[in-house]
Structure 1
Amino acid sequence: MPLWKRNLFVCWFGMFVTGVGLSQIAPVLPLYIEHLGVDSTSLVAQLSGLAFGITYIVSAVFSPIWGHAADRIGRKPMLLRASLGMSVVIFCMGFAANVYVLIVLRLLQGAITGYSTACTTLIATQTDKEHAGFALGTLSTASVAGSLLGPTIGGLIEDQGGLRAVFYITGALVFVAFVTTLLFVKESFVREDKKAMSMREVWRSVPEKSLTVTLSVTFLIITLGLYTIEPIITVYVAQLTRDASHVALIAGLAFSASGLANIIAAPQLGRLSDKVGAHKVMLFALIAAGIFYIPQAFVTSPWQLMALRFLLGLTLGGLNPSVNTLVKKITPGALTGRVFGFTISAGYLGVFGGAVLGGQIAGWFGIRYVFFVTSALLLLNAVWVYFKVYRRLGGNEIIRKDEVHEN
């Protein structure tokens, strides 16, 4: 097996379980906070929002820092640091004595994270140009699938083993990711003995500033659109069905349907981007995603919603890989980790912003308007991408630039 394929397989597993680790707390968080002694319903809601969101906000801050460290000392050390640290912190959440200890551990989890940044940088720099789209497309399915399936997995573990078992089992899985990374990931990293650059100097060294900003904002919008439905999907499913006994399960399946479709579509669309250009795949996937959000506001049964979420996931499978492929192509190898750190930070902000935005829109205007607003954001982003990315790269000039930055 080629080295890049072996690294891809190990990194995919690691990103999947760390994605689960970041998101599995969502369905059990209010219950766990109640279990830790909080009786007030309003206080439970406030503390749940704080405990959920703080991990993503802190991750957004630390992701560029760990990206910089990956460029300086290597990507594999960052993978080992993040996976071991997260496994210990998540496992310790199962022993939390009160809600404040839990919140501190969630904050620490956000600070330790960086596995996704290091994985993306490793695969981007260690994979040849011909297979970059496929490799990054496959890798992108891991974190998306982990994040989308995490709530369902957490709910199932809680149902079978109790609240604390969610943290014990997830911590153990992340430790398995640490062991497999230690044993099987190989990296040919040559440290450049140069003076460390400040963030301002890094930005000055980025050759395609406008494209980099456009791609980071696009990544934020993609993630934001994916998570606007998370706070309201259970309520929406309850409105669509008369059987209240399985609402949580059906809502989890509806939310996870897009993750399953993403796993199926992303590698294939990654291959397509290698052939026709990532900028083309990204534009048409943005348009299709924006369109598929609209009929979700008019469904009359949860199964219709589930089918449309699956179709949406097929289009989203062309977005993350395209962004990562373009970032790789326009970024010098010595800066890859730091630039990927910025784009992944944008994704973390999108998760937090999407959950907040979806809840606010549903509260003020109604659940169906969440789909309309999300569609509008994606279609507006598609217009921006058309002028800033598609028209500029229509002649595949990015391939010629990439040859200058190839490692």
Structure 2
Amino acid sequence: MQKPIWKRNLFVLSIAVFIAGIAFSEIMPFLPLYIDTLGHFSHSQLNFWSGIIFSGVYFVSAIVSPWWGKLADKKGRKLMTLRASLGMAIVLGAMGLVQNVWQLLILRMLQGVFSGFVSNANALIATETPKDKSGQALGTMMSFFTAGNLLGPFVGGALASMFSYRITFFITGLLLLIAFFLSLFFVHEEGFKPITEKKLESTRGVIRELQQPKLIFGLLLTTLIIQAANNSINPIVSLYVRQLMHGHGDVVFISGIIAALPGIATFLVASRFGALGDKIGTEKIIVAGFIGATIFFFLTAFVQNTWELGILRFLVGFTDACLFPQVQTMLTKNSPTPVTGRVFSWNQSAMYIGNIIGPLLGSFVSGLSSYSMVFIITAGIVILNLILFKINVVQNLLDNPTKS
């Protein structure tokens, strides 16, 4: 018996986002080292260029994502996955040819311009999948993308060791080209109906089309805060590990393991939590995620050794699986199909803004106080997010009593 098209799309795009996850993360471990080969930099200059080249892609992506989302609703989500994968294949491959940091910075910003492969793949799955299966489907996509992100740094490190930084960029471009051909030949967008109404071409028109605009924008704020909270600790994890190990032992190796643990946990349970949310209610899964994250972040401030840190970071991965993919599921279930691409692009922009704010917040707090205080502040941010989410959901029920 032949699989339904939505199941085949889910299978193919899960593989494609897994490949994309590897491609996006495999250059991260050696990017500062590659920058160092492009000129003669002092320590502070190298840190500056590493920071701006790393974050430049997020700034540009946050700005252009809504425009791509608008085009997705007019031309199709499959076309946007092809645009993103082919564009980034060329741009990332070209990074292996640069001769100075300015060229690399320009290409990183172009990478931001061509961003949106994963968000459009998610939007395609969200619109093609039956609503009662969307949580499980989006959870599966999240699991595969997370697995690729986890594997990427190991693949990138191995390739850079065997070949060179430049060759690794060429291979990364090839991986994204494979994702392009998978999407081109094996993904079929059946239910897409292009926007023909002029009123839906403007942001104001899309907002009018939303039945629960307050809920949608509340969920976008939830995404922003989730990403900011998760990323606030990224700049200080390795430094916290070094403090716990008192400067002895293989700090880099232990830090790498601990950094990977949340992703491993998310990979293991995201699709299961998605299926559970489809049965008992996505909102309940999100609330459980907020409560768990608050507890685990707070306890992390008081760990005494790397074992305790590792266990709590692993548990945080379970709460991650309760949050971001479930917010996407709620967006899917509360967005009209014709404007789903736009809504998902707004969510992508919110995620990128959180990616920018989070590390800045973590660095600022740790500079003023201590590493432990970063986790305490982050726990407070998660509580705030829980309160705002509950207010948003309750208000939505009051505004739409027939949906309760």
TM-score bracket relative to the smaller structure: over 0.9
Corresponding position of 2:95 = 93
- Counterpart for residue 202 of structure 2: 198
Give the match's secondary structure for 2:39: coil
Give the distance between the partners of 1:238 and 1:160, measured in 2 at CA. 29
Post-superposition offset of 1:350: 1.1
**Residue type of the alignment partner of 2:273:** L
TM-score (norm 2): 0.93
Residues 74 and 194, structure 2, Cα contact 8 Å, conserved in 1: yes
CA deviation string 1:219-275 (max 9, x = no partner): 111111221121111111122225756322221211111011101111111011101
Following the alignment from structure 2 to structure 1, what is the Cα–Cα distance between the partners of residues 252 and 210? 46
Q: Distance in 2 between matches of 1:129 and 1:17?
A: 26
1:221 to 218, 221, 225: 225
1:75 to 74, 77, 82: 77
Q: Which residue pairs with 1:388 in the alignment?
A: 392
1:216-365 superposed matches below 5 A: 216-241=220-245, 244=248, 246-365=250-369
Cα distance 1:11–1:395, how it changes in 2: closer, same or farther (>3 A)?
farther
Q: Is the 8 A contact 1:149 1:256 kept in 2?
A: no
Aligned with 2:89: secondary structure? helix
Q: Deviations over 1:346-383 (max 9, x none)?
A: 11111121122111211221111111111110111111
Change (3 A) 1:139 1:65: same
Distance in 2 between the 1:179 and 1:308 partners? 40
Relative distance call for 1:392 and 1:73 in structure 2 (3 A) is closer
SS at match of 1:318: helix
Report the equivalent of 1:162. 164
2:101 partner letter: V
User: Number of paired residues?
Assistant: 400
CA separation in 2, counterparts of 1:145 and 1:203?
Answer: 35
**Distance change (3 Å), C-alpha of 1:233 and 1:158:** farther
- Superposition pairs for residues 69-218 of structure 1, below 5 Å? 69-147=71-149, 150-188=152-190, 189-195=192-198, 197-218=201-222
Amino acid at match of 2:91: V
Greater displacement, 302-311 / 333-342:
302-311
CA RMSD across the alignment: 2.2
**Quick one: structure 1 residues 240 and 168, their matched pair in 2 at CA, closer, same or farther if it must change by over 3 Å?**
farther
From the superposition, tell whether residues 301 and 163 of structure 1 become closer, same or farther in structure 2 (CA, over 3 Å).
farther
Distance in 2, Cα, partners of 1:261 & 1:229 = 17
Structure 1 residue identity aligned to 2:193: V
Does the 8 Å contact 2:194/2:338 carry over to 1?
no
Query: Post-superposition shift, 1:149?
Result: 5.0
Number of the residue aligned with 1:404: none
Aligned partners of 2:76 and 2:224: how far apart in 1? Answer: 26
Native 8 Å contact 2:193 2:338 kept in 1 = no
- Of residues 204-213 and 78-87 in structure 1, the stretch that sits farther from structure 2 once superposed is 204-213
Structure 2 unaligned residues grouped into runs of 5+: none
2:28 aligns to what SS in structure 1?
A: coil
Call closer, same or farther: CA 1:221–1:202 in 2, change over 3 Å.
Answer: same
Query: Tell me, which stretches of 5 or more residues in structure 1 are unaligned?
Result: 402-407
Contact between 1:279 and 1:390, CA under 8 Å: does it hold in 2?
no
4+ runs deviating over 6 angstroms? 394-398
